[in-house]
């Protein structure tokens, strides 16, 4: 059963149950009240009848009777019985002669008072001692309120419930459709989105910032992330197939050519050198991919220790000086904090060396060994390393893809590389709970900011100097 139908049924059943409950309560209490009220009327008439029937003063009796006739409402089919109790009278004879219920007469004789209902007729009576004789004073009448008003009320309540059932069910179906209409539209639109048209988005026509609007925005954000993942995967497969396919093709080609005929030792040596060069390139790409995957896996255990970030920078610079003596890396110390604690981070030395080496190597390579400046600054919570170069920069339209593995900007064709360094660096910085920001302009250089959280030391307690 659909949720829409369930809500309509539950709402209908709930409303109908409430109405039936209140209708039953109203009918029950009115019915009980009508019985109690009618019995009181009959008992009042019994007392008045006893007074004017057995009053020795004729004038008073006539006066009471006239008051009764003038001021008391005549009940429907009202009858008055004055029965003298004699030894020869029996229950059966009294019941048959006066058409009174036998149980009513029996109770009246035993207890002196009685009231009973027989169908729509109500009876009330009292046993009166008049001198040496005893009499039964009984008044009976038909309860018009029960026979007419309550029946009318019952029919009206029943008709109202039936009508209400139809109204509630109709409104429940209408409102459930109205409430679920946006969700149905979302479902229909989502069914139309596939991998071929994942660029499509759900339209948010809701003016109010309600749950439906929030659902649409959340789903659109999800589609955007999925689209980015698809594009990244597509770009990765395209670049990886090219980067891995080129050395493999070269190796296979060299081997095929070398085996076509007998070669001189020099030619074999040349082919083997070419194969070795491409195999080393393939090995480097494979290792880079594996290391990229390992740094992206958060479950991998990595040993962290307390490190000074300026020492990491100097050690990395020393390594690059050996590999590339022509570099012009300059470390700016003007912003260096005086407190050494503001340079200490918790990290893995090898990974941080790798991250800074990638950034510095890129800065030197893509600036043709133009000056590269490294700034080190610190706040109370983090240390900031800024690396600036005057190189070829990155086209603005391609900035969104710089973290995709194997992606290389369109202006880097004259430079060697695999497009793995920056994604690898970002993974390392993320493992250290840091932040990597890259800004660049074509032919105007690139600026890389690396922010790493500082180790928070407990405050030291200062003791007052007492002169001793």
Rounded CA separation 52/47 (Å): 9
Contact predicate 149/140, CB 8 Å: no
The answer on 262 and 317 residing in a single domain is no
User: 340: which 2 tokens?
Assistant: 């050494």
State the pLDDT at residue 463. 45
The answer on 319 and 263 residing in a single domain is no
Domain total in the chain: 3
Give per-residue pLDDT as tens, 110-160.
888 888 888 778 888 888 877 778 888 888 887 766 666 667 777 787 888
Per-residue pLDDT for 320 more than 90?
no
The answer on 346 and 287 residing in a single domain is no
Q: What is the 3-state secondary structure (H, E, C) of 379-390?
A: CCCEEEEEEECC
Rounded CA separation 427/438 (Å): 14
Q: What pTM was estimated for this model as a whole?
A: 0.47
What is the number of residues in the chain? Answer: 468
The domain that holds 350 is classified in CATH as 3.30.565.10
Rounded CA separation 98/89 (Å): 12
The answer to whether residue 263 is domain-embedded is yes
The answer on 131 and 18 residing in a single domain is yes
The answer to whether residue 421 is domain-embedded is yes
Q: What is the mean pLDDT of residues 436-459?
A: 90
The answer to whether residue 345 is domain-embedded is yes
User: Poorest-confidence range of 138-147, 151-160, 388-397, 456-465?
Assistant: 456-465
Which of 110, 134, 151 is at the close of a domain? Answer: 151
* pLDDT higher at 144 or 339: 339
The answer on 8 and 147 residing in a single domain is yes
The answer on 347 and 435 residing in a single domain is yes
The answer on 127 and 16 residing in a single domain is yes
User: 329: which 2 tokens?
Assistant: 């890396």
User: Poorest-confidence range of 49-58, 258-267, 411-420?
Assistant: 49-58
Q: What distance separates the 2 farthest-apart alpha carbons in the chain?
A: 162
Which of 267, 296, 325 is at the close of a domain? Answer: 296
The answer to whether residue 144 is domain-embedded is yes
Q: pLDDT-derived band of residue 384, with 50, 70 and 90 as boundaries?
A: very high
* pLDDT higher at 391 or 174: 391
Q: pLDDT-derived band of residue 465, with 50, 70 and 90 as boundaries?
A: very low
Sign of the CA dihedral with 85 first, then 89, 90, and 95 last: negative
The domain that holds 233 is classified in CATH as 1.10.287
Residue 229: count of CB within 10 angstroms of its CB: 11
State the pLDDT at residue 146. 65
The answer to whether residue 36 is domain-embedded is yes
The answer to whether residue 265 is domain-embedded is yes
User: 429: which 2 tokens?
Assistant: 């910085």
The answer on 106 and 40 residing in a single domain is yes
The answer to whether residue 188 is domain-embedded is no
Burial of 21 (0-12, 13-18, 19+ CB in 10 A): exposed
State the pLDDT at residue 269. 85
Domain hosting residue 343, numbered range:
305-453
């Amino acid at each position: 059963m659909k949720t829409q139908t369930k809500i309509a049924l539950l709402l209908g059943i709930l409303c109908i149950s409430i109405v039936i409950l209140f209708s039953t309560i109203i009918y029950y209490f009115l019915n009980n009240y009508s019985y109690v009220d009618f019995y009181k009327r009959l008992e009042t008439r019994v007392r008045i009848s006893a007074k004017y029937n057995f009053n020795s003063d004729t004038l008073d009796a006539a006066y009471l009777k006239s008051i009764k006739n003038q001021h008391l409402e005549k009940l429907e089919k009202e009858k008055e019985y004055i029965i003298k109790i004699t030894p020869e009278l029996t229950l059966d004879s009294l019941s048959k002669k006066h058409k009174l219920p036998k149980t009513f007469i029996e109770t009246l004789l035993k207890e002196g008072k009685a009231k009973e209902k027989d169908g729509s007729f109500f009876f009330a009576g009292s046993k009166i001692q008049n001198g040496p004789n005893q009499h039964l004073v009984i008044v009976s009448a038909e309860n018009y309120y029960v026979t007419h008003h309550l029946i009318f009320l019952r029919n009206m309540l029943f008709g109202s419930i039936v009508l209400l059932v139809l109204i509630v069910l109709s409104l429940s179906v209408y409102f459930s459709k109205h409430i679920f209409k946006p969700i149905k539209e979302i479902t229909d639109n989502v069914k139309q989105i596939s991998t071929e048209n994942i660029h499509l988005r759900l339209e948010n026509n809701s003016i109010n910032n309600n749950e439906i609007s929030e659902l649409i925005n959340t789903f659109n954000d999800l589609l955007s992330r999925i689209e980015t993942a698809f594009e990244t995967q597509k770009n990765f497969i395209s670049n990886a197939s090219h980067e891995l396919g080129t050395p493999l093709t070269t190796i296979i080609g060299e081997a095929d050519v070398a085996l076509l005929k007998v070669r001189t030792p020099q030619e074999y040596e040349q082919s083997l050198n070419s194969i070795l060069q491409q195999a080393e390139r393939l090995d480097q790409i494979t290792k880079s991919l594996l290391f990229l995957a390992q740094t992206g896996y958060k479950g991998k255990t990595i040993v962290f220790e307390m490190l000074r970030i300026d020492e990491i920078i100097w050690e990395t610079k020393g390594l690059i000086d050996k590999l590339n003596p022509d570099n012009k890396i300059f470390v700016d110390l003007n912003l260096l904090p005086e407190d050494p604690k503001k340079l200490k981070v918790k990290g893995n030395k090898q990974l941080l060396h790798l991250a800074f080496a990638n950034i510095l190597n890129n800065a030197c390579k893509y600036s043709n060994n133009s000056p590269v400046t490294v700034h080190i600054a610190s706040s109370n919570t983090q240390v900031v390393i800024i690396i600036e170069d005057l190189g070829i920069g990155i086209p603005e339209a391609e900035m969104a893809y710089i973290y995709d593995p194997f992606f290389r900007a369109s202006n880097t064709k004259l430079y060697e590389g695999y497009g793995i360094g920056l994604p690898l660096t970002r993974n390392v910085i993320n493992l250290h709970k840091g932040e990597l920001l890259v800004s660049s302009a074509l032919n105007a250089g690139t600026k890389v900011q690396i922010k790493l959280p500082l180790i928070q030391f407990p405050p030291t307690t200062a003791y007052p100097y007492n002169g001793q």
